[in-house]
Copies of this chain bind each other. A is one copy, B any other.
């Protein structure tokens, strides 16, 4: 009798759980229609995931819930890989222990100002020093003769660049373009305030308007991981290079990047998205000064606490890179991350091959001057295409409880999706397990 009750309860729970998931998926799909921005979308999805977890696991706390994974996957769990939340790197930083800890007394760093002799007066000198050091250690960007501008993530620096590069006396806004597939947030970030200074004009390949323009070159590209060059090539153009992913774990470092305006961020290089710290390397003094002015007008500077923490994290990375080879101290950050990405891409490609329903971009290996050997491109996102007449890949995968971001957000067709490769281990393994099992 006890057994029957137990079985009934489990069935009841299973049905209840299924119903809950269907309603959450429907709700999320409905909410998606209401929303145009990826992070709102993600939050709503995240909320659905969270609610599901909380419902299934009433003892889990809000903050702990996202780390809890049902490794006994009964297919219930909504897997949210639409965002690029770099939680994968947490493991490395746990291993580092106290080395990467910052301590900030209450009386320090009270002032608005960090260094009034610098064009970027809110730039912490220690952070600036570690930015220069890590680029030198990795060899991925020229810093000599550059001004460093710190931003609240590279998002703010992107907006600062638009402000700095726009001609404020023109009657019409400057055109902003990027080759599709482009970073899905560029359109909404550019146009959200209906600025009279700049305007999003879409795919750089089809751009044919006369006059000044700003071309965004993301290399390696988000979403597809390919190395990019500018495509418009007209004299009125100004280039902004978004090099968030030009680090050894993602792509072979061929030479130090040497462009006029380059953007970097700790989110993707070290994994510390929650710090909201990015930096720009800017050749022209006047442009650096105008970017600084934008950040004054926008947020009167950038968190000193996060700059100091970022400096510490970059210091640990440079220390570990300079030590590379001496095994006593453990792996360097980039070796650890490269190996993890390598393992993940191997598993993903096996799953996709086993399924037969999808395809992935192919990359040619290249010599990496940092690792001092031939290395692979293993992007932070998988840009996956649904094959076999699946027209809407995002919706199709949603049916399998895998949330991704569809191609139309990136200016291309719905047969593509972008999947984060940077989530925690358990989520990633669940992804490959599910993809592997899809056969059409």
Chain A interface residues (CB < 8 Å from chain B) = 37, 39-40, 43, 46-47, 49-51, 54, 62-63, 66, 83, 85-87, 89-91, 93-94, 96-107, 109-117, 121, 125, 152-153, 155-156, 159, 163, 168, 185, 188-189, 192-197, 267, 271-277, 293-294, 296-306, 309, 312-313, 316
Contacts and interface: CB of A to CB of B under 8 A. Distances in A.
B192 A194 contact: no
B106 A85 contact: no
A373 B103 CA distance: 39
Contacts of A83: 112
Nearest to A50: B116
Given A66-B111, A155-B300, A192-B163, A100 B106 contact: yes
Contact of A274 (B193, B267, B277, B304): B304
A395 to B, nearest CB: 22
A272 to B, nearest CB: 6
Given A62-B125, A66-B113, A93-B110, A299 B153 contact: yes
28 contacts: A37-B293, A39-B300, A63-B115, A85-B112, A86-B110, A87-B110, A90-B107, A102-B103, A103-B103, A109-B275, A110-B271, A110-B272, A110-B273, A110-B274, A152-B276, A153-B301, A155-B299, A155-B300, A192-B297, A193-B196, A193-B197, A194-B195, A275-B305, A276-B301, A277-B303, A298-B298, A299-B299, A304-B306
A122 to B, nearest CB: 8
Contact of A106 (B40, B101, B276, B302): B101
A50 B303 contact: no
A85 B62 contact: no
Nearest to A316: B106
A301 B313 contact: no
Contacts of A276: 152, 299-304
Contact of A111 (B43, B111, B193, B273): B273
A66 B87 CA distance: 39
